[in-house]
Structure 1
Amino acid sequence: MRIRALVIRIIRQFLRDKRTLAMMLVAPLLILTMLHLVFNGENYIPKIGLVDVPDPVMEKMDIDDAKITEYESVKAAEEDTLNQAIDGYVVFEGPMLDKIVLEGSDPSVNGAVMKWFQQATKKLLPSQGQLEINVDYIHGSDDMGQFDYFGPVLLGFFAFFFVFLISGISFLRERTSGTLEKLLSSPLRKWEIVIGYVLGFGLFTMLQATLIASYAIYVLGMLMEGSFFYVLLITLMLSMTALTLGTLLSAFANNEFQMIQFIPIIIVPQFFFSGLINLDTISDWLSWLGPVTPLYYAAEALRDIMVRGYGWEAIYGNMLMLAGFSALFMVLNILALRKHRAV
C-alpha cells in the first residue's frame, strides 16, 4: 500500500507539471523530426565558375548537377569566390585545363566540387593525355580536416551551452533563495540589478571564454589563420548573449529541472542550424531557423577568423547581431523582473 501511495503521488506530480510532461513526450519527437529533416536533406549542389571556356570544350563537358557561372576574367571569378557566391572556379588556357581554384573553407564542399569536376571532364581529360590538374585553395588546404571546419561551431556551442545553463541555474537560485526578492525591495532599480548580475557573471564568462578558446587552438591544434584576439572577442560576446538569455529564461522556471527543460528548445536547434550542417541542403521552410539564433552569427564570425583569416571588416556585422541579441535579452530581463515584484 505504501508503494502504491508513492506511485500515485509521483503520477499526480507529473500530471500537475504540464511542462515536464510535455517535455518528456514531445521533446524527443521534436528532436528526432529535426534530425530527420536535417540529415535527409538534399545533396549539396556545387556552385562552379568557368573562366574562358572554349565552346568545343564546353560541348564536351557534362555541366549538369552544378550551378554554373561563366566568367571572362580570373579576377571576377576570384572576387565571387572570396564573397562565397561560388565554391570555386576552373581556369582554361586555350583548349587546355589550367587549374582549379577552390574557396576551400569547407572540406565537404571541396569534395563536392572535385567530384563534379571529375564527372564533368571524363570525356575531356583523355584528349589531354590525363594531365594532372593543379588545385589551389584560397582558404585552407588539402590537409584541412573536418575538425578544423567544425571546430569554430563547436567552440561557440560549448561556450554558449555552459554559460546559458550555469547562469540560468545561478539566477534561478538567487530567486528561489529570496536574494532577488530582497534586492527588488531595495532602492536598486530593475535595470541596475540586471546590469549588476550581467557584469558579475561576465567576469567568469570572460575567464571561461579565454580558457575554451586557448585550449582549442593552442592545445588541440585547431586551425587558426587569423587573430586570436578576435576569436576571444567573438567568444566573449557569444557568452554574454548566452548569459543574458539564461537569466531571462530562468524567470520562467521554478526549479533547476525546469531550467534544463529549455535545452531541447533553445540549445539543440542552434546546434544544427549554426552551420554545422550546410544550410543549402536543408529545405527553405526549415533553414530560416539559423539566422534567428545567436550561435549562427558567432559560428560564421569564428570561421571568418579561424579558417579564412579575415579581420574586423568581415565580422563586424555578426558582432553587431550578437550585441543586438544581448541588448534585447537584457531589456526583456528588466521587463521579466516585474513578474516577481513591482518596484
Structure 2
Amino acid sequence: MIAFAIAKRIFIQMFRDKRTLALMWFAPLMLFTLMYFLFTSSGTDTTYKVGVYNLNPEIVENLEANHMKATVFSSEEHVAESIKNNQLVAFIAQEDAGPIDITYENSAPAKSAVVRAKLQAAIIKLQLGALTSLAQQAVAANPSLAQAVPQQPAINELYLYGEEDSDYFTTISPILLGFFVFFLVFLISGMALLRERTTGTLDKILAAPVRRFEIIGGYLLGYGFFAFIQTLLLVEFVVHVLHVAVAGSLALVMLITFLSALLALSFGVLLSTFAASEFQMVQFIPVVIIPQIFFSGIIEVGTLAEWLQFLAKFMPLYYIGNALQSVMIKGGTLGDIGNDLLAIVLFISIFTGLNVLGLKRYRKI
C-alpha cells in the first residue's frame, strides 16, 4: 500500500536524522529528570533568617527550633536597612508587653507566609506551655481535677490516594508526562511535514495516483512508530529510574501516553498545513499549546469559573492529564477513564479527517 511506502520513507529519514531522534526520544527524559530534581530537592529544612528585637526569648527559641535563624538587634530603628544589609526575610520587634510588629522583606511572598506561620506556631506553643503549667499546678493543689482534664486521643492517619510522604511532584508528574509527549511530538511532526511541503516532496507525492487518506495514513503510521518508542522509553524511565509511583496499570499509562502522541501527531500535521515556514509553525505554540497547560491539571479545573470549566472541555490536554492522573494517582481502571479515552480518540479522528480535507489546498484527487 501507498501508506506503507510513505511510512518506510519516513523510517529511513528519521533514522538518518540523529538530532531529531535525540529530541524526540531523549529530550523528554532529560526534561523530566530536571523537573524531578527541581521539585524533590526543595525540602522542608530551608532556614529563614529573621531579625528580632525585644522578643520573648521563649518565642525566639521556638523559632530557632523550627528552621529559623534569629539575629538579635539592640534597636528597632532603621528596620529597612537592617533587612537589606543582613538579607533578612522579616524583622520582628516588640515593645515590652505591647503588640508584635513584623516587617517583611516580601520580595518572595511565599517566604513571608512561611515566617508568618512559624511565628504563629511559636506563639501558640508558648501559650500552650503556660496553660499546661497552670493545669499542672491546679492538679497538684487539687488532685480531683485530673479527671476533668481531657486526654488527647491518638490520631491514626489514613490516605485514600498516595502516601504520607507524597509531594507536589507526585501530583504533577502525570501532567508533565502527558505534556512532554504531546508538545515534542506536535513540534516534530508539524516541522517534518512542513519541511516536506517546502522542499517539494509533498508535491511529488501528490503528483502520483494516491489518495489523500493514504498520504495522511502513511505519515501517521511512520511518525506513530517513533511516538510509540518514545512512549515506551519515557514511561519506563519515569517508573523504573525516577521511581514515580503508579497506583494503576502501567499498560494503561502507556496506552494513554501513546494516544496522546497520536493526538499531537495529527494536530501537528494539521496546523503545519496553515504554516508557510518553520517560524510560523513556532508561532502556533503560544496560541494552541500554552493555553492548554493551564487546563491540564496544573490548576485544579474544578476551582475555576464555570465558563473556564466549559472551555476546558475543548482542550485535548485536559483529557490527557485527567486520564493519567486517574490511573497514576488514583489507580483508575479502563472503565474510570473511558470518557477521557473516548474524547482523545475523538480528537484524533477529527484532526485526521481535517488533515485529509486540508490536502485539497494542494491538489484535488
* TM-score normalised according to structure 2 size: 0.58
Q: Quick one: which of 262, 276, 291 aligns to 1:240?
A: 262
Q: Quick one: which of 254, 259, 262 aligns to 2:281?
A: 259
Q: Quick one: which of 225, 235, 238 aligns to 1:203?
A: 225
Q: 1:209-266 deviations in whole A, cap 9, x for unaligned?
A: 1111111111111121122111111000010000000000000001111001111111
Alignment map for 1:1-343 (pairs within 5 Å): 129-343=151-365
1:127 deviation in Å? 8.2
Cα distance in 2 for partners of 1:328, 1:128 equals 65
1:128 deviation in Å? 5.2
Calculate the aligned-residue CA RMSD, in Å: 1.5
Cα distance in 2 for partners of 1:277, 1:206 equals 28
1:296 deviation in Å? 1.0
Where does residue 42 of structure 1 map in the other structure? none
1:134 deviation in Å? 2.4
Unpaired segments of 5 or more residues in structure 2?
1-147
Cα distance in 1 for partners of 2:357, 2:298 equals 34
Question: Whose Rg is larger?
Answer: 2
Q: 1:10-36 deviations in whole A, cap 9, x for unaligned?
A: xxxxxxxxxxxxxxxxxxxxxxxxxxx
Cα distance in 1 for partners of 2:264, 2:150 equals 56
Cα distance in 1 for partners of 2:194, 2:156 equals 59
Q: 3-state SS of the aligned residue for 1:314?
A: coil
Deviates more, 1:308-317 or 1:130-139: 130-139
Cα distance in 1 for partners of 2:325, 2:236 equals 16
Distance 1:127 1:305, change over 3 A: farther
Cα distance in 1 for partners of 2:293, 2:150 equals 46
Distance 1:243 1:133, change over 3 A: same
Q: 3-state SS of the aligned residue for 1:151?
A: helix
Cα distance in 1 for partners of 2:188, 2:296 equals 21
Where does residue 56 of structure 1 map in the other structure? none
Where does residue 46 of structure 1 map in the other structure? none
Cα distance in 1 for partners of 2:360, 2:154 equals 69
Cα distance in 2 for partners of 1:216, 1:329 equals 29
1:340 deviation in Å? 1.3
**Residue type of the alignment partner of 1:304:** S
1:289 deviation in Å? 2.6
Unpaired segments of 5 or more residues in structure 1?
1-125
Cα distance in 2 for partners of 1:340, 1:127 equals 85
Q: 1:269-308 deviations in whole A, cap 9, x for unaligned?
A: 1111111101233222223232211111111111111111
1:139 deviation in Å? 1.4
Cα distance in 1 for partners of 2:292, 2:272 equals 19
Cα distance in 1 for partners of 2:316, 2:149 equals 51
Aligned residues: 218
**Residue type of the alignment partner of 1:237:** L
**Residue type of the alignment partner of 1:301:** A
Cα distance in 1 for partners of 2:166, 2:320 equals 21
4+ aligned runs moved over 4 Å, structure 1? none
**Residue type of the alignment partner of 1:286:** L
1:338 deviation in Å? 0.5
**Residue type of the alignment partner of 2:182:** F
**Residue type of the alignment partner of 1:173:** R
For CA contacts below 8 A with separation 6 or more, give which structure has more relative contact order: 2
Q: 3-state SS of the aligned residue for 1:181?
A: helix
1:342 deviation in Å? 1.4
